[in-house]
Each structure stands twice: as structure tokens, then as C-alpha cells.
Structure 1
């Protein structure tokens, strides 16, 4: 197959959207397919290729106040030109909203079947960032984009139901894989743990962007739990304010390569605080690292966490319950270790190979349905 991937973000920006695209590209290369990536970026630092496939950097500007986020200014006709030149069998829109909308229109104009991988609850972000009046428009745009798709694939039952409730048609589920070799309990470093917690404290960890939509400030409610040390991995616009609020916490910044799985495996309890997670890959990577997870009962983590077995879910916004759930795990090392083992066991069949093979079937079905639609259109024209 020839697959054109149009994404709202790509390397060097590292996030859930980028990571899933990288795994898909690696699978496409390993199985003899062809691909191209179109994404906004800074030409000075954006890669020219990945896994042997070309990466076309689209003109863009940075989002005010958040330099890691880029918004494409590329017109639709440019995307049509790129797609014509590559001649894909199917277009894969990754977390479409801005450039994804233009990509959806370009694919529809050219008659190329397209699927959308829904990954980011952008309309709900509007309320979180104090512009809730734009949430209605956000869902309008989501319906516009996804109504042009042969199919949309949400990463969890919660996000699927949310899309259906907002009038998005033809929604299925495509989850996310996890690298269980890279994220592994065997990578736990007692030396690193001792560096963080020199008095033998239990390490309560967070990994992810330090941004408003992630609600990392909720970790403040865990300050003062006896015998604990909070460790924060990640970077973002809230880092400075969080450091002021939690002066005794360890802030590691963004970690890459082997430093990331080593840090994750060296924690004792993992917390995911965001309430707008369509999936939450960080939860899955923490489970692969053998950690029990505490998360709000909303979004993707509902599918990922089995309460009392692999972690705990708490009522969104209930900080008393959040603290109680974490305190429960801190105070019971046997329960913590049992949940960690169960968490690891629960991801054994969630490899990227398995998930990408499933995605190939979705591509083939989109191509088949696109061919049928084209044939019906030709029949009507001939009639």
C-alpha cells in the first residue's frame, strides 16, 4: 500500500500523536509498504525522513505561549499537489483538526479514501484554557472533518461514545500498542531511586507534558503524604509554577532514550492526572514498567485500569479521593507490588506489531469502500 500520513505534529515534537506515527511508519517499512508524512514544523530542525520515508514539512507558526505546538499555514491546494505527486491508496489523518481539516478536504477533492485516527479532545481543551465559548465551534469542526472520512478510529470506548454523541458517523476503535521491551520492570534502577529518595521514601511519579490540560497541579494534593517523594518527568509551560508550588519535588525535565524507561521503572506509584485523555499512553507505559496507576475515572484510562487489580480510578476533581488512593498504595507495599505485576501482565498482548496489523486491515477496508464509492459514482455519471 501507499499511505499518506497527515499529522498535526511530528518530530522533533514528542507526544502521543508523534509516537504512534513513528510506530506505524516502522511497521510500514518492515512490511514493504510506501509512505509519506506531511506535518507542520520548523524546517531548520524537522527531519527530512523517517524509517526511509520522506517527511514533508508544512509551513507553520508557533502557538502563542506554547512554543512546542505549531499550527500549519499551508493551503489546501498545496496538500492536493503533494497527494497527487505521491498518489496514495489511502490517507491517514492523525489527530486532525487544523491541517487535518485541509487534509480531509484535499483527500475528498481528489477522491482518495481517508481514515482519521482521533487522539486529542481539542474542543474540551477550549474550556480548560478559559475559552469555553469556542467548544461548540470545536465540535462543529470535528464533525466537519470526520464526516468526510471513510471511518474514524477512537482509541477508547469513552472517546468513541463521546464522538458518537457529538454526531460523528462511522466510529470504530483502534487502541495503541506499547513497547514492552523498552518499558520493562527490569530497567528499575535502585541507584536512581536512592538518588530521588535518599531516606527510602516511596516515589510517587508523573510523566507527561506540564501543561494546563494535564492538570499536573493536582499533584500538589499529594504533598505531605508521610514517607514519600514526588518525581515529575516532562517539560512544558507550567514547569516554573509547579516548581514553586512543590519545592520538595524532583523535576527531571524531558527524558529521552533509555533515560525515560529507566526513570519510569524506578518509580513506585504512577499518577495520571489529566481528565481529557482520549487514551493516555503514559498509563500504558507505566503499566508495562510494572507500576500501579492512579487516574481520574474519565477518558481512556477507564479502559486501561482495572480498579483494585492494576491501580485505582477516582472521581474527577475529587482531590480527597485522589490522595486517599495514592496513600493506600504508599502504605501497602505488598498491594503495590501485586498491582504492579498485574499491570505488567495486562499489557503482554498489546504490542505495536499487533495493533499495526489491525490498522492495515482498516486501511484495506477504507480502500475497498473507496473503490465501491467511486464505482457507484461512475454508474450514476453513465446513467
Structure 2
């Protein structure tokens, strides 16, 4: 047996040296990556955090900075400084710091930002291409946001923008175009719990084909709904900025219609959070709803400004004939008319108006309900005890609706599920005193005892007391009517639409452009998880990239050092080879 102790010892030393060098390289690289990761997170900018050198607590007040992409101007030298400067702690001694770091992307940030602002200013002055996906349809379905989308399209036409519309509809009067914009009608299914609503998943891919052929600058989709999920997938697949506008307060509806299901409200919020995480910007219709979104951890939220057509809804349209023939039954032409306009559904809580009629039965007060819905038959049975004091007027449109607003005296809105309440704005523009529930988006419109009256939600007695004070005090009623009209005149659709396209759309495009600059390799590494914020996604992407690079570097260095140590051991064995020692044979005695 040949014994080579020196050669074995040399190999052990070489392997140990290799492992030590590889471990040192790995620790060095990981330590460097921590600094590089922080620089990358704040270099691209995000609404969730502040730059390293400017760490501060952000204000909770809503601002455009929360929806726009911020570009950090922190110089690379700040990150490499020791703990004596700016509080940035360096975890490695100077002799172990690498000579170069991957922070070159921070150089020239000012130039990139100036170019971005130039592109944005040019985009604001040029027509935009918008793909609008709305569910349910704003053309044949009676809903609060129908006027918003119709006025939006009216003024986008005036601004010279190009809009293609896709919406589910199964009625014969479904339009093929609106204001010169083409309308793609999608097939859908009626929602079992609310048959008035037609929903669509775009199973035939008609909306996808429209978006592919149109190649818009941005996709705007209404939420919540099935079409919003399809739009999110199209926006990600086609790499197009996505804006979601939230119009129906799903947790309140779900709790009202499916309250027997455990945790239905929490599940609804989880669905909203998942869905809106795909959006580059979420638009809500009131500051109150925005605060709820912020409390639920939904980011990149802004308020879509309200508006009203003050010429269409105007006190000058008041008509005694409309009041006598449409709003009241025979014999009640001189009554004080309480008006409600909207869907006749469970969540509107119209049953609590019977308390008002009971308390004011000696004051010649009648109630007019304008609209239709799944709860209409139940309401007719509920109000049957009041006889001809309650009239169901059906669905009114156009000039008849404007005259109905102006011919009434007081507008009542007991619902606590309104995200804004367009009918309240229309009533104020028509010169009506408004009594509403202090919930949802109504407090953002009605200022208590200034342009209307607010009552606690789900409190029929308090609501009745507010209506009674207006009926019995004509001076208070006239003062609230005058102030409501003045406030409504300051809300214009043209300014709201201009702010939508020049501020909200541009903010979404900026954010999408910043994320779009990621390399193809980074996008493959990044897991598209919808439940986390943009900063967390960027952190995951960078950590996986660094981990992959570190593992490759570790194994490569280990392999090469092992090969070099083997060559060195062969070379040294030529000079230090010793002859093998063979013991002499043992001589037996005897």
C-alpha cells in the first residue's frame, strides 16, 4: 500500500482555501446586495416608501404624489458613506468594499425625469386613445354613474380624444355608437341576485380583439365586476396602463344580499384588494370611499371629481302640470312632495320613509318614487297602507326627469351604500333641499345645515326629524335650496373630464412607464403576485435576481478554485514527491 501523507495534506489545504475564498465572496456579494437592493427600491420610485436619504413619514392627506411615480434623486455616494454621514450604516470595512456597485442607474436621473416631463406635456396636448370597458352598460341600464360616463364621453369628444367602448348589453335599443365613438356590445349573463344587472367575462374575446386592434394609450374599466377581471388580464398581457374606477360599494351590497354567508364583508374587501392591485391607478367617487380603501391597504387611489349639468337640471324647469300628473295622485297637487330618484332595491333602505309619512300625516306630505328595480313589488306592498300619498312614477328620462326634479320640494336619500350619489347632485342643481344619510359619499356633497340636512344612517326617527324640520320651517327650506343651487353651479363636467385625462390618466401612464423599463430578464424573475404592492414586487424581483447571481458565482468560483488547486497539487507533487516506503519482510525465528 502506497502512503502519500504530504499529498493528502496538500489537497485538504487546497479545498479549505477554496471554500474559504468562495464563502468570503458569497458574504461580500450578499452584503453588497443589501445596499444595492435599497438603492434599487427607491431609485425607480414608488408611492409606498421614501428615498433613503429623505426618510420621513408621509402625510395621510390625499395628493397627486400618492398616485404619481416619484423619482429618487439620492446620489450613489450617499449609500456608500459610513454611519457618520446621513445616518446610513456601512456594514463592511473599506478594504472589503467592492470597487464598483450596480448603482449606475441612479446617474442621470434628472435628465430622465426632464425627458419624462417633456413627454407628459406633449401627451397632454395631443389626443389620447382610450379603451373604455363599462359594466353594466351606461346607455340602457338605469344607474347613478350613467350620466358620469356619458358626460365624460361628451367632453372627450370635444377635446379630440379617440375612445372605443365595450359594454355588455342584451336590449334591442343597445347603441352601436355614442357621440361618434364606436360601441362594442358584449354578451353576458344576468346576475341571479340582481337580475337588472348584466355581467360579462368576455368569454368570446370580443373586448380583447377591440383592444388589440385599437392599441390604446390606456384602458379604463369600471369596477367591481367580471369585466374588470378580464380587463386586468388584457392590460397585463398587452402591456397597457390600466385605470379602474370604483362605482358600487361591494361590501355593503354583499352584506345586504348575502349576509348569511360568514365573513362575506371581509371576503368582499379581499376581492377588491386583489382586483385593484392590478391597476396603475384606482379612481373612487368620494373622499370617504378613498379613506376606506386606504384603511384596507389599497394603494394608488385618487378621487374622480364630481360634476353636474346645471342647464339640464335647473329650477327653471319646474312645472305644476308635472307635479300634478306625474309626482302626485289626484287631490294632492298642493302637497309638499318628497322625491326619491334611483333604483328601487333593498340596499336603498326606502322602507324607513314610512316613519316620515307617519310623523307628517297631518302636514299634507306625499312621496314620489322615481325609478325601478327588483324591490319595487315589495315596496308597493309596504307603502300600500298610505294609499294615494305614495306614488310610483316609474323610470323617467330627459326633460321629464329634469322637470320632475324641479317640481318637487324636498329630496330624500336614506341609502347608506352610495359611493357618491349623483341623484343628490342633480337634486341640488334643480334647487331642492336634500335630506340624506350621513354615510358613504353623501357627506362629501351635503354639508349639514348649509346646503342640506344629514341624519345618522339606519335611524328612521332621526331621518324623519330632519325632514319634519324642513317641512315646517319654510325659511330654512328656502335657505338650503338657494345654497344647494350655488354649490352645484361650481361643479362642472368639463373641468372634471379635463382633470381626469390630464392628471389621472397621465399619472397611471407614468407609473406604468416606470415599471415597463424593467428588463425582460427581470420580468421573467418577477412573480406577478396581485396581492402585494409594487415595492414588494420589486423587492422580490431583485432578491431573486441577486440570489440567482450569487449561487452561480458561488458554484463557479468553487469549481474553478477546485480545478486550480488540483493543478497546483499535481505541480507541487513533482518537486516534493517522496518514495513510498515498503517495510522489510518479517523473519520468523526458529
Asked if TM exceeds 0.5, the reply is yes
Q: Is the 8 A contact 1:330 1:336 kept in 2?
A: yes
Cα offset, 1:219, TM superposition:
1.6
Q: Do the aligned residues in 2 keep the contact of 1:182 with 1:261 (CA within 8 Å)?
A: yes
Which residue, 207, 221, 246 being the options, matches 1:118?
246
User: What per-residue deviation string (whole Å, max 9, x for no partner) do you get for residues 95-131 of structure 1?
Assistant: 3321111111211221100111111101220111133
Partner SS, residue 457 of structure 2: coil
Partner of 1:8: 135
Residue 375 (structure 2) aligns with: 238
Q: Which moved more, 1:35-44 or 1:118-127?
A: 35-44
The residue that corresponds to 1:168 in the other structure is 298
Confirm or deny that 1:347 pairs with 2:347: no
Quote the offset at 1:379 in angstroms. Answer: 9.1
Could you tell me the TM-score, scaled by structure 2's length?
0.62
Which has the larger strand fraction? 1
Of the three residues 39, 59, 75, the one matched with 2:187 is: 59
CA gap of 1:323–1:111, structure 2 versus 1, over 3 A, is: same
Say whether residues 1:330 and 2:471 are aligned partners.
Answer: yes
Which residue is 1:375 aligned to? 517
Do structure 1's residue 217 and structure 2's residue 351 form an aligned pair?
A: yes
Decide whether aligned partners of structure 1 residues 376 and 336 sit closer, same or farther in structure 2, where only a CA change above 3 A counts: same
2-structure distance, mates of 1:381, 1:281: 42
* Cα contact 2:332–2:366 (8 A) shared by 1: no
Cα distance in 1 between the residues matched to 2:523 and 2:191: 45
Residue pair 1:80, 1:110 contacting (<8 A) in 2 also: no
Equivalent residues of 1:88, 1:112 under 8 A apart: yes
* Counterparts of residues 68-217 of structure 1 (less than 5 Å): 68-75=196-203, 78-131=206-259, 132-133=261-262, 134-195=264-325, 196=328, 198=332, 200-217=334-351
Secondary structure of 2:426's partner?
Answer: helix
The alpha-carbon deviation at position 164 of structure 1 amounts to: 1.3
The normalised TM-score by structure 1 is: 0.95
Q: For 1:3 and 1:179, locate their aligned partners in 2 and report how far apart those are by CA, in whole Å.
A: 23
Q: Secondary structure at the match of 1:276?
A: coil
Deviation at 1:194, TM superposition (A): 4.0
Q: CA RMSD in A?
A: 2.0
User: What corresponds to 1:365 in structure 2?
Assistant: 507
Decide which moves more: 57-66 or 139-148.
Answer: 57-66
Aligned residues of 1:123 and 1:135 also touching (Cα < 8 A): yes
Counterpart secondary structure, 1:181: coil
Distance in 2 of aligned mates of 1:296 and 1:125: 16
Cα distance per residue 1:290-344 (max 9 Å; x no partner): 1111111101111111111111111111111110000000001121111001000
Separation (CA, whole Å) in 1 of partners of 2:274 and 2:334: 54
More displaced stretch, 322-331 vs 362-371: 362-371
Cα distance in 2 for residues equivalent to 1:64 and 1:77: 23
SS in 2 for 1:223: helix
Matched residue SS, 2:141: coil
How far off is 1:200 after superposition? 1.9
What CA deviation, in whole Å up to 9, does each residue of 1:176-233 have, x standing for no partner? Answer: 2111100011111123334426352111111110011111222222213122111111
Ranges in structure 1 where 5+ consecutive residues have no aligned partner: none
Mapped to 2, the partners of 1:265 and 1:208 lie a distance apart of: 16
| 1:115-170 deviations in Å (ceiling 9; x for gaps) | 11111101220111133533332222211121111111111111001111122111
Mark the CA change 1:87 to 1:296 in structure 2 (over 3 Å): closer, same or farther.
same
SS of 1:347's equivalent in the other structure is helix
More deviation, 372-381/142-151: 372-381
**Does the residue aligned with 2:488 lie in a helix, a strand or coil?**
coil
